[in-house]
Amino acid sequence: MAALRIFSYQPNPRLWKATIAARLNGVDIEVRGAEPAALADWLWDFDARPLRDEDRANSDYQQTGRVGFGGTSLRKTPDFLDAHPFGTVPAAFSGDGRTGIFESNSIARAVARLGEARLPLYGADAYEASRIDSFLDASLVFGRDTQAYLLGLRARHMEAHAQQLASAAFVTYASGMERALKGGREFLVGKQLSLADICFACELTMLWYERPLLAWLHGQGYAAVMPADFADAYPHACAHFTRLRRHEAFAPELESHLAHLESITNISAGE
Ligand SMILES: N[C@@H](CCC(=O)N[C@@H](CS)C(=O)NCC(=O)O)C(=O)O
């Protein structure tokens, strides 16, 4: 039995906060799920699996998605919603299925705590752990303020306020990270890699989704949220991100995903 089971669509940089932490500290994780659209044909449950005919007929499971799955008919079991009251993915469970852990930062915290003896990723003491929490909270706010923008990109329907909110969030987040890394600091907290670095790398990775859509975005009259001069304007944050994406524990998920998005330069509307 794995220490943690996570149900999520894939690829999902939010899920990778946990899988990268697990690669570093050896915690055994089982990941279930499929590509985003396919989750409408999955049972959202501890025992997540593709739907059977009887699941489709069970009205107790019927739910309408709200964020990312807005308006989509989904099948979430009552047990799933007991464990995950906000009904979101990634959705983690203790190995025995009794405890649900939601919010990707908290799922990553669970991995860090479970593997603490092998490798501390959650700080050396209460102060460092709390400072890591500070970065995780700032990352959640950034993730929240960019979510509508990223979903707008995916739907090829951008609202001006979503783009403005995301742009302002980017400046706040990147400026804070830049300041935190100034003076030759190698990591965000303390002298070793922590959840703060993992979360930063994964949250920033989410913004790479805008890369293949820049032409579409400009065509709609909007600027990219990540400015073209990111490396010059935020040199420490950019260098840290570049180091992390190449790190052996991050590269299996991040490097191929980012390189793929960097290689698609021009998606036209509808693709
Ligand atoms: N802040 C959350 C965001 C999770 C989230 O919003 N997930 C969306 C998909 S992008 C979801 O599961 N929506 C379920 C629904 O629409 O019912 C995290 O980091 O885990």
pLDDT of residue 184: 85
Average pLDDT for 81-85: 98
pLDDT over 70 at 53, yes or no: yes
Average pLDDT for 53-75: 96
- Whether 33 is in the pocket of ligand 1, judged by its Cβ within 6 Å, is no
Taking alpha carbons only, the member of 246, 67, 241 closest to residue 146 is: 67
What gap in Å lies between CA 11 and CA 248, rounded to an integer? 18
pLDDT of residue 267: 59
What gap in Å lies between CA 120 and CA 161, rounded to an integer? 40
Atom 12 of ligand 1 has which residue's CA nearest to it?
88
Kindly state the percentage of the chain with pLDDT values over 70: 98
- For the CA of 144, the closest atom of ligand 1 is 1
pLDDT of residue 271: 45
- Give distance in angstroms: CA of 36 to centre of ligand 1: 11
CB burial string 75-108: b at 16+ within 10 A, e below: bbbeebbebbeebbbbbbbbeeeeebbbbbbebb
From 3.40.50.970, 3.20.20.150, 1.20.1050.10, 3.30.70.260, which CATH number describes the 126-263 domain?
1.20.1050.10
- The domain defined by 4-114 folds into Glutaredoxin (3.40.30)
- Whether 68 is in the pocket of ligand 1, judged by its Cβ within 6 Å, is yes
pLDDT of residue 22: 98
pLDDT over 50 at 81, yes or no: yes
Chain centre to alpha carbon of residue 210: 15
- Give distance in angstroms: CA of 232 to centre of ligand 1: 33
265 pLDDT band, cuts 50/70/90, is confident
pLDDT tens by residue, 158-201: 999 999 999 999 999 999 999 999 988 999 999 999 999 999 99
Chain mean pLDDT for the chain = 96
- Whether 69 is in the pocket of ligand 1, judged by its Cβ within 6 Å, is yes
pLDDT over 90 at 105, yes or no: yes
- Whether 13 is in the pocket of ligand 1, judged by its Cβ within 6 Å, is no
Average pLDDT for 138-149: 98
- Whether 90 is in the pocket of ligand 1, judged by its Cβ within 6 Å, is yes
pLDDT of residue 266: 61
Q: Which tokens go with 47?
A: 């025992």
- Give distance in angstroms: CA of 125 to centre of ligand 1: 31
Pick from 88, 104, 204 the residue to mutate for probing ligand 1's pocket: most ligand atoms within 8 Å of its CB: 88
User: Could you tell me if 49 and 43 are in contact, meaning their C-beta atoms sit under 8 angstroms apart?
Assistant: yes
Which residue ranges make up each domain of the chain? 4-114, 126-263
- Whether 9 is in the pocket of ligand 1, judged by its Cβ within 6 Å, is no
